[in-house]
Structure 1
Amino acid sequence: MELSRPAMPDTLPAASQFRLAYPQTAKGDISETQFGEAIADPYRWLENDVRVDAKVRDWVTAQNGVTDAYLQTLPGRAAFAGRLKALYDYERFGLPVKAGTRYFYMRNSGLQNQAVLYVRDGLDGTPRLLIDPNPWAKDGATALAEWKPSKDGKYLVYAIQDGGTDWRTLKVLDVATGQPMADEIKWAKFTALAWTKDGKGFFYSRFAEPEAGQQFQSLNLDQTLYFHKLGTPQSADIKVYATPDRPKLSHTGQVTDDGKWLVITSAEGTDARYEITLIDLTRPGVAPRTLIGGLENNWELAGNKGSLFYFLTNRDAPRQRVVTIDVASPSLKLAEIVPETAATLDGAAIIGDKLVLTYLSDAKGVAKLATLDGKPAGDVALPGIGSIGGFGGEPGDPETFFSFTSFNAPTTIYRYDTATGRATVFAQPRTAFNPADYEVSQRFYTSKDGTRVPLFVVHKKGLDLKGGAPTILYGYGGFNISVTPAFSPANLAWMEAGGVYAQASIRGGGEYGKAWHDGGRLAQKQNVFDDFIAAGEYLIAEGVTTRGKLAVRGGSNGGLLVGAVVNQRPDLFAVGLPAVGVMDMLRFNRFTAGRYWVDDYGDPGKETDFKVLRAYSPYHNVHGGTDYPAILVTTADTDDRVVPGHSFKYAAALQAAAIGTKPHLIRIETRAGHGSGKPTDKIIEEYADLWAFTARWTGLDLPAAH
């Protein structure tokens, strides 16, 4: 069942004259006693799937009607929409993947709803369009997701993502002809794609087909690793690895560059605590061998030289190091190759005859080279302060590619030779702005408990900060995910209009390794909120902004962050923008991927965890009697990562509470999910709404529409 927004009238009152009347939301009488406390859940009916429950569907339609009518009154909306369209209209490239003599890469010409896959025969070959997903759906909401060429570049397995869901349908392409083959695989999810060296088939991960009507809500359990042989039906696929006695484990496969080994990484949650299982592909029928057990540490394969395997790990090294394990030795002893340093080791790979090591130094990217025995072999020169990605490749071939981006620098792709240390531009976009017009600075502030936290502040050069400027403060703070400098046309549109963009690298992320992550999860989760609140107080104290001009924004775990800090300090913020947030911390583990998150949040079924979660759960801590900032909640009907019921219930609680006269609205996108695969036109529309709303309530003066 698809939803659509009602058409807007031709003329609407100005925002100052608009009378906001929220739709009536029915209250249920559900109350459950948990560990001695009665927990009311009056809006539980909003957890039901919008495609299945007509009452939820009607509620969504009514909410969107009120929200859209209000947003249409905002004077800056058309100006932002026009400028966003111009800023998004630039050529964008993904990192190339080399297979045989072919190079595969994604490209968006500018305003294409979905990026397109190209291939070149040879580095300087003529680009040939291979897969264009834009015709797949009239609304542009069906995307090309993961893809992987066979080692010789003859075939390509690719994933189709429809409407933003995490579910994938896998298909195979003959690269020479560009024609799809008959192979098709359904119900793949959270999967890697790994070809055998001979290109006759590949490994993938999937779940069992869910019951009818439950594909967007049922828990993800019993993930299984399969092998698919080309030219055969999915029913013939071979089950390679499963743990039915441990249904919470997920499994992904990776084939070593020499084609001899299948490395299976298993995890129970989102925390980087893995088990590693090895299958010798040269000896069919040999039982899998546990290489690393216990779910205690991070283990990421950097490559292998014969039986000597290189891993990045945080075992005995909170900021990570590189070790080797000789899998031919019964002892499986670790040998340290690259020791832990003050910077956080973020990635490692064997390229040519070198190790390429990427680090985070105060949330900024650094890349270094080392010999295979760990001796320093130089630095990779970077264009400035920013973030780096890529460095894929294999032993014996010194060619690799990396990306560089910063707040004022769109992603540029570089080709790098580890033998010569030479970097050349592979693809650099031209944009409708001058990067030199923007100032990027990194500052440090002190959180409530004295912890030093990095903060990036970006704005137009020469911006008059007397009296403070309207400012958007962004944060995430969870799951060991590092928040680093990155280019966003949307953020640029905000800064062009005279706003400031600030980004805090708060605890819960991976910027400073395991201790930084642990300092913001489980019983320490309040540190995340304290760090974010302290960032806001710092920006005000430094004169960057004022209480009446400060907006806070975050998505997913960052949506939880916004919901929590707005409840805890409604006086500090003028605007709250929680996107696809985890808002009910007492039931998050009952839907789709939610059960993975107990690593970061804890288990609501355990009393000690319950008390922590109950204390900050956004849905359960909306209290009347205090004026709240203006809030625009955003979610999507096909989000099967953080089910939209979280945002539905939270918005209903906001609208029912006596929290002042500022608008507390929810914007529900149709045919979209948690974020990936969203068409460009929907992204532009959403940001036009967000920035116009934020401008209205932070006092940002906007020019007329272009």
Structure 2
Amino acid sequence: MTRSRSLVLLLAATALSTSLASVTMAQTPPNPPLEPGAFATSDATDPYLWLEEIEGERAMAWVEAQNTRTLGILQGDPRYQPLHDQALAILESRDRIPQPGLNRDGTVDNFWQDATHVRGIWRRTTLDSYRTQTPEWETILDIDAVSAAEGKNWVYKGVTCLPPEERLCLVSLSDGGKDATTLREFDSVSRTFVEGGFNLPESKGEASWIDADTLLIARDFGEGTMTSSGYPMVVKRLNRGQSIDQAVELFRGQETDVLVGARVLRDADGVIQATLIQRAINFDDNEYHWVQPDGSLTRLSLPERTDIEALVSGQMVFTTKQAWTAPSGQDFQPGDVIAYPLQAWLADPATTATLVLRPGPRESVEGITATRNRLIVALYENVRGGVYVYQPTDAGDWTRTRLDLPQDIAVSLGSASDADDRVFVNVTGYLNPSSLWLANAATGEATSVKSLPEQFETEGLVVHQYEARSADGTMIPYSVVHRADMPMDGSNPTLLYGYGGFQISNLPGYSATVGKLWLERGGVYVRANTRGGGEFGPAWHQAAQQQNRQRAHEDFQAVAEDLIARGITSQPRLGVMGGSQGGLFMGAMLTQRPDLINGAIIAVPLFDMLRFHKLLAGASWRAEYGDPDIPEQRAWIQAYSPYQNLRAGQPYPEVFIHTSTKDDRVHPGHARKAAARLMELGYPVLFYENTDGGHAASANLRESARRIALEYTYLSRRLMDAPAEE
């Protein structure tokens, strides 16, 4: 089985003594007069388009000025350095579980970063050694050494090895953390890059092994080969010794697609059972095409909202996000997990499918993998997880057993073996340090292999789940981590985190930095499970898509109101935080309900929703938000787009906006323009842009520590220093 292991986030400046107004005037170049009409509803009425020039001289001068001012303020706070030192100690601590990848030969791989290995090492040990307190690791590839030798800021993005031997591998390396990577062939036995081997230049996209001399690649092949979202729309077959321009084209999508890629389905012995082309029409809808031995293509009879999950015991398992009547006449519902006997189905699309699992209304499937003979499913009920093992029977149905793991906690599936039925499972909770379990899916037994010590003081802390009533009456669950003796008088500094999009669930988890830098210091931490996420399956997500996006914003606002109504916090003590889609969440909170909050961390955000589809990967998100080029859809987007809805004379608190120059997913222009507009309107703003780091906003552990310390210094200033009433 092909392995893919990847890693759903400056010098201190002197604080300026001038007033905010004078700083804003000095650092924001004069703007041309606006044409009549609403702000930034056209290019002519957006005075900050120049900030979209990612490395433009004028834009970078503005960024440098903002960084100098913001770092001067936050790093000048006496709390910054202790917070930074604590964050760095946590991130570089060896008290972390080295996440394992199971190899067929019984060895275990891991990618590791620490104070010595800032960019990281790919390393290997035996399973027996891994289970000890001090495994004996052998380094396979040292990214720091490669970076130093080549004068590059390489960020490791994963490795894909050719089964069953798993000797030849494709290593993905990113310049500074971008999504775009170079792919270089590596021999994991000789531990060297293969001289004259496959070497694909920087591009977004992927590559799949067919055999030792053949790849299927989806890359940037030049003009007319990338979608409007910035991803490949062409798949080619590349043979060893060929240049990329000699590769043979197999499939070409359309420019309006999100992307096109290849998927190789192998059995547990590494033998190819089917080669597929996946055409992602949008973020939800897919077409799958079967590449037959003669190179011809046959479109498979699957619903468009399908994700192929696994191949186990000859059964191809997939999930669907829509109601669907199969060619056999069988009816399926959104969220169903379904299986086909692969070879029979390829021969006859009317072959009977089998329902493996139908989640209930408060359940969601959060992960699927396969061992040699079993299907493993992480299933959540009311945002609490369990792991179930499914096995096909001769009668055509599936049996189900539950792994013996801790209850009422969060679980995530790790590496699974295709040599036997072992699978790693991660177990965690808000107050439960992460532990790693090795389960035998054949027997249902599971044993704890590694566990973290407590990294912050949990004595006296409790977790409660509450529900808030949203504007349309829907009950929205949320979790609160706080001291058991917390006064219910609104005096508690509270951080509310949200995401709410793309069917990504906001699940419980142990965060040492949240615990050490916030909870230990008296803060309250809250996670909201709003619609738009996947906490209760596809319907929970689809309820806040497109014209219904505002529902997710109302859900988040309802949680904030409920926190205040319960006396957990109050407006002067309440701050919100989110990144990417979550940054859009924060922008909507700022522009719609600033009366509820006294601070907001807006990280790598979407903000100008009338132009999101024109910037980097933005076109791929039209299925989520709608299309601003269609008047009806533009109207509902403009109603909540934060950039267009910023107004003078509002009770906006000082916000902290941060992004990365190297983010090639969400354009840094969103964050830059948000800050510039707020400053123009006279509001206090802190803005920081890391010049490396990609969408995670940090390229290594030291940059991560700085970002985290900046965030919690800001939160301390806004929420812990706030008076009881303002």
TM over 0.5: yes
One-letter code aligned to 2:700: P
Change (3 A) 1:642 1:28: farther
Question: Is 1:681 matched with 2:702?
Answer: yes
CA distance, structure 1, for counterparts of residue 209 and residue 454 of structure 2: 37
How far did residue 100 of structure 1 move?
Answer: 3.8
Give the match for residue 579 of structure 2: 555
1:163-562 matches, within 5 Å, as 163-182=176-195, 183=197, 184-191=199-206, 193-196=207-210, 198-209=211-222, 219-220=229-230, 222-230=232-240, 233-244=243-254, 248-257=258-267, 258-271=271-284, 273-280=285-292, 283=293, 285-292=294-301, 296-306=304-314, 308-316=315-323, 317-324=333-340, 326-342=344-360, 343-373=363-393, 374-393=397-416, 397-430=420-453, 432-435=455-458, 438-492=461-515, 493-562=517-586
CA distance, structure 1, for counterparts of residue 217 and residue 635 of structure 2: 39
Gaps of 5+ in 2: 1-9, 131-135, 324-332
Contact 1:356 1:367 in 2 (8 A): yes
How far did residue 389 of structure 1 move?
Answer: 2.3
Contact 1:319 1:512 in 2 (8 A): no
One-letter code aligned to 2:209: W
Contact 2:208 2:264 in 1 (8 A): yes
Q: Larger deviation: 80-89 or 584-593?
A: 80-89
CA distance, structure 2, for counterparts of residue 393 and residue 237 of structure 1: 33
Change (3 A) 1:511 1:21: same
How far did residue 396 of structure 1 move?
Answer: 6.4
Question: Is 1:27 matched with 2:31?
Answer: yes
2:156 to 144, 152, 157: 144
CA distance, structure 2, for counterparts of residue 202 and residue 414 of structure 1: 35
Contact 2:496 2:526 in 1 (8 A): yes
CA distance, structure 2, for counterparts of residue 37 and residue 432 of structure 1: 48
How far did residue 454 of structure 1 move?
Answer: 1.4
Change (3 A) 1:676 1:119: farther
1:625-636 matches, within 5 Å, as 625-636=649-660
SS at match of 2:535: coil
CA distance, structure 1, for counterparts of residue 237 and residue 447 of structure 2: 38
Give the match for residue 47 of structure 1: 52
One-letter code aligned to 1:203: L
CA distance, structure 2, for counterparts of residue 58 and residue 631 of structure 1: 21
CA distance, structure 2, for counterparts of residue 13 and residue 672 of structure 1: 27
2:589 to 552, 565, 568: 565
Superimposed CA distance per residue, residues 50-79 of structure 1 (whole angstroms, 9 cap, x where no aligned partner):
2xx211111111111221222133232122
Change (3 A) 1:315 1:37: closer
Superimposed CA distance per residue, residues 424-459 of structure 1 (whole angstroms, 9 cap, x where no aligned partner):
334433454355564222222221111111111113
CA distance, structure 2, for counterparts of residue 81 and residue 425 of structure 1: 32
How far did residue 394 of structure 1 move?
Answer: 6.0
CA distance, structure 2, for counterparts of residue 462 and residue 86 of structure 1: 29
Contact 2:184 2:193 in 1 (8 A): yes
How far did residue 652 of structure 1 move?
Answer: 0.7
How far did residue 228 of structure 1 move?
Answer: 4.1
RMSD, aligned CA: 3.0
SS at match of 1:652: helix
Q: Tell me the TM-score normalised to structure 2 length.
A: 0.86
CA distance, structure 2, for counterparts of residue 190 and residue 563 of structure 1: 31
2:664 to 633, 640, 653: 640
CA distance, structure 1, for counterparts of residue 158 and residue 634 of structure 2: 37
Aligned residues: 677
CA distance, structure 2, for counterparts of residue 114 and residue 645 of structure 1: 27
How far did residue 596 of structure 1 move?
Answer: 0.3
Change (3 A) 1:384 1:75: farther
How far did residue 482 of structure 1 move?
Answer: 1.0
Give percent identity, aligned residues only: 25
Question: Is 1:67 matched with 2:90?
Answer: no
SS at match of 1:444: strand
How far did residue 327 of structure 1 move?
Answer: 2.4
Q: Larger deviation: 585-594 or 675-684?
A: 675-684
Gaps of 5+ in 1: 702-706
Q: Larger deviation: 596-605 or 396-405?
A: 396-405
How far did residue 19 of structure 1 move?
Answer: 8.4
CA distance, structure 2, for counterparts of residue 28 and residue 137 of structure 1: 44
Superimposed CA distance per residue, residues 283-304 of structure 1 (whole angstroms, 9 cap, x where no aligned partner):
3x2312211366x322223214
Contact 2:229 2:258 in 1 (8 A): no
Contact 1:31 1:41 in 2 (8 A): no
CA distance, structure 2, for counterparts of residue 337 and residue 37 of structure 1: 48
CA distance, structure 2, for counterparts of residue 385 and residue 131 of structure 1: 39
CA distance, structure 1, for counterparts of residue 123 and residue 237 of structure 2: 27
Change (3 A) 1:312 1:37: closer
SS at match of 1:413: strand
How far did residue 392 of structure 1 move?
Answer: 4.5
Give the match for residue 704 of structure 1: none
Q: Larger deviation: 362-371 or 379-388?
A: 379-388
